[in-house]
């Protein structure tokens, strides 16, 4: 069965500092990987996704993530944090063993706090 | 273009009752997925519908059911409510439900269900 582990349920950074949110996955077949963001009282918004091809994926709002098969990781980064980045971030995985469609397995989430 | 619309936004029920939640996907989207979000279990996949057919199902008891109409609108029903069913129920839609492409999955703001 596939799974996702997000290290650190809470991460705090200073405005302008590097954001690094960690995600490790487990899948017996090539995975599809996703990062979503959730603002208070809202649904999830897709930041970026990896399917195949280039391992460095660029997303919205200046975020990017790198798929590293050897490390089974898909960490999310942003060079310079902004106050508006404060939210909860979810890593998710899907693969062909789960069948078609949008069945995603989510990590437990990382709450990002951005301080002045 | 209107986003994914979920109604109602908040719902309070008592144990033993049943509840129906509604989701209107983005126009042109044929895949609708449902997720349950709780502080303890995180985000868990309930089921996905495509062209009125259930395409995938998560590990939830039979009390949780859903359906999709010819206009792609979807409803989910929970019968014999339990306290543990208190959660944010999120609906998501995409055009084809093909996560292997650049297709995006769009989430609604959810229905917050409280079971007393």
Which pLDDT tens digit goes with each residue over B25-76? 999 999 999 999 999 899 999 999 999 999 889 999 999 999 999 999 999 9
Q: How confident is the model at residue A106 (pLDDT cuts 50, 70, 90)?
A: very high
Summarised one tens digit per residue, pLDDT across range A50-63 is: 988 888 999 999 99
Percent of chain A topping pLDDT 70: 95
* Residue B99 backbone dihedrals phi, psi, to 5 degrees: -75, -5
Chain B residues within 8 A of A44 when measuring between CB atoms: 43, 90, 92, 107
Q: Of the ranges A11-25, A30-44, B16-30, which one carries the lowest mean pLDDT score?
A: A30-44
A110/A43: higher pLDDT: A110
d(CA B110, CA A34): 20
pLDDT: which is higher, A68 or A97: A68
Report the phi/psi class of residue A98: left, alpha or beta, with left for phi > 0 and alpha for psi in -120 to 50.
Answer: alpha
Query: Residue A103: which of B45, B90, B109 has the nearest Cβ?
Result: B45
Asked whether the predicted pLDDT for residue B101 surpasses 80, the reply is no
Nearest residue on chain B to A94, judged by CA atoms? Answer: B99
Q: Enumerate the residues of chain B whose CB falls inside 8 A of the CB of residue A100.
A: 55-56, 97-98
B103 — pLDDT class (breaks 50, 70, 90): confident
Which two three-digit tokens encode residue A49? 């996704």
Q: What is the pLDDT of residue A97?
A: 63
**Distance (Å, whole) CA B48 – CA B35:** 9
User: Testing the interface with A: which of B23, B40, B45, B66 to mutate, by most A Cβ within 10 A?
Assistant: B45
């Amino acid at each position: 069965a596939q799974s996702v582990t997000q290290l650190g349920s809470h991460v705090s950074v200073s405005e302008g500092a590097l954001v690094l949110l960690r995600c490790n996955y487990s899948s017996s077949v090539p995975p599809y990987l996703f990062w979503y963001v959730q603002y208070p009282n809202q649904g999830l918004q897709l930041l970026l996704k990896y399917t195949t091809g280039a391992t460095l994926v660029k997303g919205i709002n200046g975020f990017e993530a790198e798929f590293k098969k050897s490390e089974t990781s898909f960490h999310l980064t942003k060079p310079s944090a902004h106050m508006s980045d404060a939210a909860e971030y979810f890593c998710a995985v899907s693969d062909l063993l789960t069948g078609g469609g949008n069945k995603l397995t989510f990590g437990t989430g990382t709450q990002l706090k951005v301080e002045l | 273009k209107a986003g994914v619309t979920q109604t109602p936004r908040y719902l309070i029920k008592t144990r033993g009752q049943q509840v129906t939640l509604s989701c209107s996907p983005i126009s042109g989207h044929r895949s609708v997925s449902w997720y349950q979000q709780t502080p303890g279990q995180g985000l868990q996949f309930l089921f996905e519908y495509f062209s009125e057919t259930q395409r995938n199902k998560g590990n939830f008891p039979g009390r949780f059911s859903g359906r999709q109409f010819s206009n792609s609108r979807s409803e989910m029903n929970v019968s014999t409510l339990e306290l543990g069913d208190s959660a944010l129920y999120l609906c998501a839609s995409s055009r084809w439900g093909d996560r292997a492409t650049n297709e995006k999955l769009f989430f609604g703001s959810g229905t917050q269900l409280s079971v007393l």
